Structure 1
Amino acid sequence: MTQTFDFIVVGAGMVGAAIANGLAQHHHTVALIDQGSEPAFDPGQDPDIRVSALSAGTERYLRSLGVWEDILAMRATPYARLAVWEAPEHPVSRLLPGGPPRTTFSAADLGTRHLGHIVENPVTQKALWDRATDHEEVTLFAGSGVDSLQEDDQSVTVTLDTGEALTGRLLIGADGAQSRVRQLAGIGVTRNQYGQQALVASVRYRGEPEDITWQAFHSSGPRAFLPLHASPEYVGESWASLVWYDAPEVLSELKALPAEDFLARVREAFPQELPTLTGVSARASFPIARQHAHQYFQGRTVLAGDSAHTINPLAGQGVNLGFQDAQCLQALLDEARRLGRDPSDPELLERYQQQRRPANGRMMATMDVFYHLFSNSVTPVWAARNLGLGLAQGLPFARNRVARYAMGIDEGLPKPLETLLSRAPGLKRLVGQL
């Protein structure tokens, strides 16, 4: 027996579950399919090593879905400052008066209470998953994968690996970078693997949760320190998420170090203002890559989130871009129903692609430029990035305009920077040759 829905969403991660909730709010019926089981949250457990920096724009969206308060009731840490500096590795840096340049972005300068929240991915996913199960319009198929799909002029039918068949007017693939939906739809991708990998770890520090994130740029790759919540087990201590980019062999060495030796290496990599580190929980590393689908839709299938694009996680923008996909797609599908149009209308899905693909591409290009500029020690490039950091500190108006865009407060960048980023592919090739 085939079950019929308005929409079929594959992937109940953060983006897929958000799409399902948004559609259900407007009384569309949704089949939500995921190979995993319901995410769990235990306030007594150590933090998950998978975290995201949720922007102000994402916060507004999650509030509209009715899940933001649920997230805050679990765990979320606001941050009001972001410190960025160049590690003093280059020989010339020793000659600079006052040391290498450094800049700090502040919520107060942007006219807002905070720049964003650091939230564990399972917390966000659980809030969205739980809310989806509260909607009568959502039917959840947990522990199920998609085996095949077929479509005709009226609908698309997916067959699950359990043998169940589901029919809808549009199939939404939000099932991650290795998207099965994307493969079945025959949509190709362009993929660029970076030479570095990323190590993530949960570390404890002495004191209450801080309101500042630290971003250090080293020639071997950036390193970030993101504050989390107070520790319920260790009185007077708090948790933080550490992200360290480097060559795979260096990260293997770091993962194998005893806890005290690992923490000593971390202390050496950050300024003295970093709070005193007291312990480390989980450590893991993973490869990083940039990937972009050649198109965002095909027939009655459309992609969102990591199924359509994965980005260098340098600034934690990946899930924020995915939520922007979700908002855009929901709005267009609501419009289609109001106008009595087929949700798979190519003109409608082309509008989605035209709005989201260039925007995602600009952010991907921006992160690539940062990656190449800050991941080498060639003297001209070193001088350029130090000049850039110095100008950022000295020109707060321009710095704050960029920050407001990155945090989802403003919709666009200043025109001069938009022009620069439109030429980013050429800049990337130039930097890559240095």
Structure 2
Amino acid sequence: MTHYDIIVIGSGMIGTAVALGFAKQGRQVMIVEHYQLDKFIANQPMDLRVSAISQASVQLLKQIGAWDTIMDMRVCPYRRLETWEFSENRLCFDSQIMGLSQLGYIIENRIIQLGLLEQFSKYENLVISCPDKLKHIEFNSSNNRVFLESGKKLIAKWVIGADGSHSLVRKLANIRIIAWDYRQYCLCINVKTELSQQDITWQYFTSSGPRSFLPLCGNHASLVWYDSPNRIKELFSMNSKQLCLEIMEHFPKNLGKIQVLEKGFFSLLRSHARKYLNKRCVLVGDAAHTIHPLAGQGVNMGFKDVSSLLKISDKVKIDEVLFSQYEEQRRFDNLLMQNGLELLYQGFGNDILPLKIARNAMIKFIDSSKIIKKRALRYALGL
């Protein structure tokens, strides 16, 4: 059997980042992934899955050497962020308040993965098994035996579960989760816009769920429509012309004319692992926590997991005490973010008049306070 210090299950954005980071530390690393990505072609259609990448996530991607490669493909920086329930009462953030040239970047998830994967060839101590899947883990006190569907039998001192919200690593390690369904779906729509709006991302709230605009390269954007499962399925079943008419009716008029290019939907679930460490298995990203995507913080929380792991493990021997420190640091912060977004979701999803008055008064107050806005941005951007 081949021995590794770390075996990472899952090569999404978080899995590839943590594998690359541990390899950069000089550890023997294998990453296992069942899906092989196609190479980047400049004129290929935009992917449906995109993420708003914070400044802290950018710093991590720079640290592990992937950022320049990502920038050479396609990214869309944004300078302004606006949110509102009533158009005359908006909460506006601008990068200038923080002395930054941009607040963050909107990037297709696949672009981030490809940028990370391209760095793998620099490290002889980093191996990828793809296409392949985890089959079973045999747990021992000093290491774990990992069995893959390809027939490979491996030994790892530690297994990192970066295999998403339905994590097999989490299941095999007998780590339970607390979870509930929001009974809400999210429709992602890639569009071509008539107007150029590429320096701003915005979100406005309705009683049935938020509507969001995420700028992409050129005159392209990702629209996100949150609503009941039945309503989203109805929208998804429409042809492009019908859906375009619905968007024009239910999205702000400043969107301008659009052309629908692609669409897809998924259900929304909040979950949190009761612990991040058990049986020499460690959870990161969606395997450990999922949140409502209304604030775009899910992937940034995952990258914070990676940053924490790499920081506390740098130039030291990895042991259970170290991973317990990671669990203590990140579980509290992730729970704080989850609860904050839950408050936001519940607060804006209610039509009770006193609550509507209170939340809009809060928007007006926050927008008038430079100090509060700077503190909120500092936390959201990870600065």
> How would you bin the TM-score normalised by the shorter chain?
over 0.9
Does the 8 Å CA contact 1:169/1:344 hold for their aligned counterparts? no
Deviation at 1:113, TM superposition (A): 0.9
Structure 1: distance between partners of 2:152 and 2:235: 46
1:250 maps to which residue? 231
**For the structure 1 residues 38 and 258, does the alpha-carbon distance in structure 2 shift closer, same or farther, using more than 3 Å as the test?**
closer
The answer to whether the aligner puts 1:129 opposite 2:117 as a matched pair is yes
Does the 8 Å CA contact 1:156/1:171 hold for their aligned counterparts? yes
1:103 to 78, 91, 109: 91
Aligned AA (2:260):
V
1:263 maps to which residue? 244
Aligned AA (1:120):
E
Does the 8 Å CA contact 1:170/1:344 hold for their aligned counterparts? no
2:33 maps to which residue? 34
1:188 to 170, 173, 176: 176
Aligned AA (2:198):
E
1:295 maps to which residue? 275
After superposition, the C-alpha distances for 1:160-193 in whole angstroms (9 at most, x for unaligned) are 1122111121111111001011111010111110
2:378 to 375, 396, 404: 404
Aligned AA (1:71):
I
* SS of corresponding position for 1:18: helix
1:352 to 310, 320, 326: 326
Does the 8 Å CA contact 1:169/1:300 hold for their aligned counterparts? yes
Structure 2: distance between partners of 1:24 and 1:311: 29
Q: Which runs of 5+ in 2 are unaligned?
A: none
The answer to whether the aligner puts 1:17 opposite 2:16 as a matched pair is yes
* SS of corresponding position for 2:159: strand
Structure 1: distance between partners of 2:319 and 2:168: 19
Runs of 4+ residues deviating >4 angstroms: none
Identity %: 36
Deviation at 1:272, TM superposition (A): 3.1
1:362 maps to which residue? 336
After superposition, the C-alpha distances for 1:18-72 in whole angstroms (9 at most, x for unaligned) are 0111111111110111111134322212210100000001001101111111111
Structure 1: distance between partners of 2:131 and 2:284: 21
2:103 to 86, 102, 115: 115
Q: Is the radius of gyration larger for structure 1 or structure 2?
A: 1
* SS of corresponding position for 1:169: strand
1:305 maps to which residue? 285
1:426 maps to which residue? none
2:212 maps to which residue? 224
TM-score relative to the length of structure 2 = 0.97
* SS of corresponding position for 2:19: helix
Number of aligned pairs? 383
Structure 2: distance between partners of 1:229 and 1:406: 23
Q: CA RMSD in A?
A: 1.4
Deviation at 1:155, TM superposition (A): 1.4
Matches within 5 A, 1:414-429: none
2:131 maps to which residue? 143
Structure 1: distance between partners of 2:315 and 2:177: 29
Structure 2: distance between partners of 1:200 and 1:151: 40
Matches within 5 A, 1:15-94: 15-87=14-86
Q: Which runs of 5+ in 1 are unaligned?
A: 88-98, 231-237, 338-342, 410-434
Matches within 5 A, 1:318-337: 318-337=298-317
Deviation at 1:335, TM superposition (A): 4.5
Does the 8 Å CA contact 2:25/2:315 hold for their aligned counterparts? no
TM-score relative to the length of structure 1 = 0.85
Does the 8 Å CA contact 1:218/1:374 hold for their aligned counterparts? yes
Does the 8 Å CA contact 1:38/1:129 hold for their aligned counterparts? no
Deviation at 1:209, TM superposition (A): 5.2
Structure 1: distance between partners of 2:168 and 2:200: 39
Does the 8 Å CA contact 1:300/1:344 hold for their aligned counterparts? no
Structure 2: distance between partners of 1:301 and 1:318: 21
